[in-house]
Amino acid sequence: MNTSKENDLQVGDEIAAGNAGWTFGGEVAKTFDSHVSKSVPFYEEGHSLICGVSDFFVKDNSIVYEIGCSTGMLSKRLASHNISKNARFIGIDCESAMVEQARSSSSMNNLEFVQADILEYEFEKSDFITSYYTIQFIHPSLRQALINRIFENLNWGGGFLFFEKVRACDARFQDMMTALYTDFKLEQGYSAGEIVGKTKSLKGVLEPFSTQGNLDMLKRAGFEDVTSVMKYVSFEGFLAIK
């Protein structure tokens, strides 16, 4: 169980966080998989979709990256899904506890986990890069630079598949999306207090763009071929091809 400070907010799954102080570090890694799978609609289905899309990009000698791999669940599935190909899979995360947990539960020769700041990481040329609800935590002032680097380090014809929480296009729709997501979390068994606690902890930490904002960012980086591959309420997956 997490060691929490007196004024920390309980956000569910034995996780506590300060006001505007959500972090993926420390003890969060121990219960993160359970927490995120109940917090993100169609979490497992998104992993399956990413594996399916990888079939169109991963080949022998490919290098595949996951940005923000946390405990490594998706990277492990990708590496296993493509086990017949002579490809390398690299999961990157800035949190040491996440990387340690990912490494402790993996023995695949084609997979490695790296602790690094993604804004400084030196990519090798890649055929497929994915990010699963991670870029939304990169500060908006730095986000475009990251997408630019992803574009630059993809091989021609390579794919970038990322999922993000997205803001609605106007206030009325945003109110609807927020209410529907609150209903979803209540159905997962979270209390009203835990839902409010998580919302308060994410202030200034989670900064989603709208669908159009994400599309504009991809276009500025140089991507011309972009499509949405999945959308549910305020959760969306984008595939961009160089």
Residues 134 and 226 in one domain: yes
Domain assignment of residue 56, yes or no: yes
Reported as a single tens digit per residue, the pLDDT across 142-189 is 999 999 999 999 999 999 999 999 999 999 999 999 999 999 999 999
C-beta separation of 238 from 227 below 8 A: yes
Higher pLDDT, residue 114 or 24: 114
Banded model confidence at residue 15, pLDDT cuts 50, 70, 90:
low
Residues 155 and 191 in one domain: no
pLDDT(13) > 60: no
Q: What is the mean pLDDT of residues 53-80?
A: 97
Contacts of 153 (CB under 8 A, 6+ apart): 123, 124, 125, 126, 129
* Predicted pLDDT at 241: 98
Domain assignment of residue 222, yes or no: yes
* Predicted pLDDT at 3: 42
Looking at the structure of the chain, the number of domains it has is 2
* Predicted pLDDT at 205: 84
235: helix, strand or coil: strand
> Tokens representing 33?
């998989």
Angle CA 123–128–132, to nearest 5: 90
Q: What is the mean pLDDT of the chain?
A: 91
Domain assignment of residue 3, yes or no: no
Q: CA of 96: how far to CAs of 47, 103, 117, 238, in Å?
A: 23, 10, 11, 28
Residues 218 and 149 in one domain: yes
Residues 16 and 106 in one domain: no
Domain assignment of residue 73, yes or no: yes
Banded model confidence at residue 32, pLDDT cuts 50, 70, 90:
confident
- Report the percent of the chain where pLDDT is more than 70: 90
Domain assignment of residue 159, yes or no: yes
pLDDT(202) > 90: no
Among residues 130, 141, 144, 153, the alpha carbon closest in space to that of 69 is found at 130
Residues 178 and 154 in one domain: no
C-beta separation of 108 from 80 below 8 A: yes
Residues 110 and 196 in one domain: no
Domain assignment of residue 125, yes or no: yes
Q: Which amino acid is at 67?
A: I
Contacts of 10 (CB under 8 A, 6+ apart): 4, 16, 193, 194, 197
**Domain at 62, CATH number:** 3.40.50.150
Q: Which amino acid is at 228?
A: S
What domain range is 19 assigned to? 9-39+168-201
DSSP 203: T
Reported as a single tens digit per residue, the pLDDT across 79-117 is 999 999 999 999 999 999 999 999 998 789 999 999 999
